[in-house]
């Protein structure tokens, strides 16, 4: 079974987000290697906040459904001490 490196997973996403303007990239030389450092742009931070709001709303709706009592089931009584 082949393993997938972190580079193979993240570089395509980072490249796509950079093209959309969500990330900026800086090349930094470390010895013989050149590393790419990605930073979120103001547009990227705004998109992240919007995404967080959507996730919170989705989870809130999901948990409302889970926590909501069943109207056809009688309420449980608390045990007497």
pLDDT per position in the chain (81 positions), as tens? 678 787 788 888 888 999 999 999 999 999 999 999 999 999 999 999 999 999 888 888 777 766 566 667 666 666 666
Residue 69: predicted pLDDT = 62
Write the burial class of residue 67 (CB in 10 Å: 0-12 exposed, 13-18 middle, 19+ buried): exposed
34 Cβ neighbours under 8 A, 6+ residues apart: 27, 28
- pLDDT for residue 75: 63
């Amino acid at each position: 079974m082949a393993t997938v490196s972190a580079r193979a997973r993240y570089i395509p996403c980072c490249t796509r987000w950079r093209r959309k303007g969500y990330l900026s990239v800086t090349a930094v030389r470390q010895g013989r290697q050149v590393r790419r450092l990605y930073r979120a742009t103001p547009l990227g931070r705004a998109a992240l906040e919007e995404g967080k709001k959507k996730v919170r709303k989705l989870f809130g709706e999901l948990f409302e459904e889970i926590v909501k009592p069943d109207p056809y089931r009688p309420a449980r009584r608390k045990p007497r001490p």
